[in-house]
Chains A and B, each alone.
Chain A
């Protein structure tokens, strides 16, 4: 096969892929016109969880920063929304802006101590940070302690608006991770994940790379937290800062396929559809969800996308650089 032929085939494939992706995005964006209320509701959850999963994957799958504490940022987003809209009568746009500022500042503050840890110690450290924030909010009178806050302004947001917001967030999260990984920084992240010492010798600035990745993921998770709670409309510290969020993110990424961009897409869809289905089994849902996770890990340790890639070599969003002949 000639060089020209290979390139031509590659361009053709890229063209088909791009066409399919654009068609799918258009179909999804038009869902409010032809889908049921339930479809829109499920869509909000899928794309919100997709954004969470994608960011956790960026941290754990591509950078080796396995965090069990990023639910803190969901809680920060939720409470920013509640305080801005309820306590100060602000709008949703203002909530997003302020949540970004808080997320960046908080990430910078905790990064100093937390980046001194690595491996499992980093994981535990992030969890401790999250639990500390939870305790702080539970004992903070300004946010009504553990009693929660009704985000009354969110009661009457049309579902279509929430859906489009979640869809945008989901798409941006995928695009963001894709372009980061296609950039020089993506190479640095993966090098750092695979062998930090070797990466540093080759010129990767470990602290700076980790910090940028951490900032991006934390900020995006915070924004997703704002959107999630625009849907939930009632925030309490326990659930907002709860480990359940981290478990969801891990489930989505591990089931879908860690270290792949498609993995969180598949994982988020499976997770949300499963949760919807498991409403049919009250009291048993978490047991069933856990069992499914165990089975999938045993059968396909690299997740569904990892298994598909292993068998068919298929990737929708390839971040690999291929050498030209």
Chain B
């Protein structure tokens, strides 16, 4: 009987003590891996909360390290290693409260899932007690991190989502974004269509995801404004169970000469090959979202030359990293030399992140949360996206330009910016290549 009572007591108390003991304690990670600072149990989550007493700045990054969005993380480790080495070794750290201390980054995998993303961001804030929280890629990463930012009143920087989707959760007090504007993105794609001789019939192939939903409203609005286009919309398809045969038949019957599709990579590959099977490749085929990475596009059959999409960053941007003093082209070239493949566009975001972080922390000169937030809001720094400042919506709007895949010199395919109306700083007089069309 005594043994039972002891077991009962142990069961309950172990549980209570386990919770009480959740104060972190693992070693901090300079590179991906979880962990936290050794620290007491003070609940440092209030405005200007207790700054952990440690000899480094800790940035917590809730990122899609697994799941369908993990493709965005392709260059991240490379950039983090390069930037931390530069900041901590070449520059001797960042000056905080009068002395230079190193910057460290700790990651938590959000598994491309909002449920896990929230838990990952919460863990970084409450267990690792990071000084700045990062949440990246698609609303799953940006919106959940922003919610954590508001709840815990911690300076948070998010990037890689449509500005409109991110702002849907605003207004924010503790989150600052570096996001593209979806209207501008579509506007530059439409600009490509106006430069190709077509009958103006635009077929929409959009799924039910955020991009498809926002994309439909945006593209039809822009085409209405411009006039001269006729939209053929077979309706949204489910991204998980796509069947394009009915959609393609409809587009072919309606004599569509411009296709605007927005879908993930597997669906893009399937859709493109089915277009060829139907012997129906219009003069303009724009497939957004699924064609960002050369490794994916290189596998498309038939050849993807002439396919248009929106680039969220390009090495041809005539800008440099203020931290590295190196051009966008140079950084991308270095990535390609190191990895033997075409650079990923998310490289630009990761590099710009450290330009901004270094600038913000240097100007703040402290880890006090209000001061860091104030420094974020007064950002005015040159990055590989050009000069970035924070607008009234707390977003550093970055460009998304009309691009197409063409035959490359170093790699089988390379990107070519052909429309930059919304950010007119790149040469876009390049000719538009028409796909191996059947029209």
Tell me the A residues contacting B by CB distance below 8 Å.
9, 12-13, 16-17, 20-21, 23-24, 27-28, 31, 34-43, 45-46, 135, 138-139, 144-148, 150, 152, 154-157, 159, 228, 231-236, 239, 242, 244, 262, 265-266, 269, 273, 275-276, 279-283, 285-286, 308, 312-314, 316
Contact call A36/B15, Cβ cutoff below 8 A? no
Partner of B42, one of A31, A36, A231, A283: A36
Given contacts A38-B22, A39-B19, A279-B109, contact A156 B213 (CB under 8 A): no
Task: Known pairs A145-B212, A244-B113; list 19 more (Cβ under 8 Å).
Answer: A13-B1, A20-B8, A21-B12, A24-B16, A28-B16, A28-B19, A36-B24, A139-B238, A146-B213, A152-B170, A155-B150, A231-B118, A234-B140, A236-B140, A266-B11, A276-B22, A282-B33, A283-B66, A283-B70
Q: How far is the CB of B27 from chain A (nearest CB, A)?
A: 10
In the complex, residue of chain A having the shortest beta-carbon distance to the beta carbon of B10? A20
- Find out whether the CB atom of A234 lies under 8 angstroms from the CB atom of B12: no
Q: Are A150 and B22 in contact (CB under 8 A)?
A: no
A144 to B216: give the CA distance in the assembly, Å: 12
Please pick, from B19, B113, B152, the residue contacting A43 in the complex, using a CB distance under 8 A: B19
- For chain B, residues 130 to 159, give those with C-beta under 8 angstroms from any C-beta of chain A: 139-140, 143-144, 147, 150-152
Count B-side interface residues using an 8 Å CB cutoff.
70
- Cα–Cα, bound, A146→B109 (Å): 22
The complex places the Cα of A37 from the Cα of B50 at a distance, in Å, of 12
Most-contacted residue by chain A among B4, B12, B107, B144 (CB, 10 A): B12
A interface SS class:
helix
| Distance of A28 Cα from B18 Cα, bound (Å) | 11
Q: With an 8 A cutoff between CB atoms, is B20 at the interface?
A: yes
Find chain B residues with CB under 8 A from A282 CB: 32-34, 65-66, 107-109
Supply 5 A–B pairs (Cβ within 8 Å), ascending by A.
Answer: A20-B12, A42-B22, A280-B35, A312-B7, A316-B8
Residue from the list B5, B24, B119, B169 in contact with A150, Cβ < 8 A: B169
A to B contact number (C-beta, < 8 Å) = 200
CA distance A147 to B115 in the complex (A): 15
Query: Given the complex, which residues of B lie within 8 Å of A13, measured CB to CB?
Result: 1, 4-5
Bound-complex Cα distance A159 to B119 (A): 13
B residues with a Cβ closer than 8 A to A are 1, 3-5, 7-9, 11-13, 15-16, 18-24, 26, 32-35, 40-45, 65-66, 70, 107-109, 111, 113-115, 118-120, 122-123, 125-127, 139-140, 143-144, 147, 150-152, 165, 168-170, 207-210, 212-214, 236, 238-239
Q: Which of the residues A138, A152, A235, A279 comes within 8 Å of B108, measured between beta carbons?
A: A279
Report the bound CA distance from A244 to B113 in whole Å: 10
Do residues A235 and B143 form an inter-chain contact, with CB atoms below 8 A? no
Q: What 4 pairs across the A-B complex have the smallest Cβ distances?
A: A150-B169, A282-B109, A24-B12, A147-B210
Residues of A within 8 A of B115 (CB): 228, 232, 239, 244
Q: Provide the residues of chain A in CB contact with B26, threshold 8 Å.
A: 280
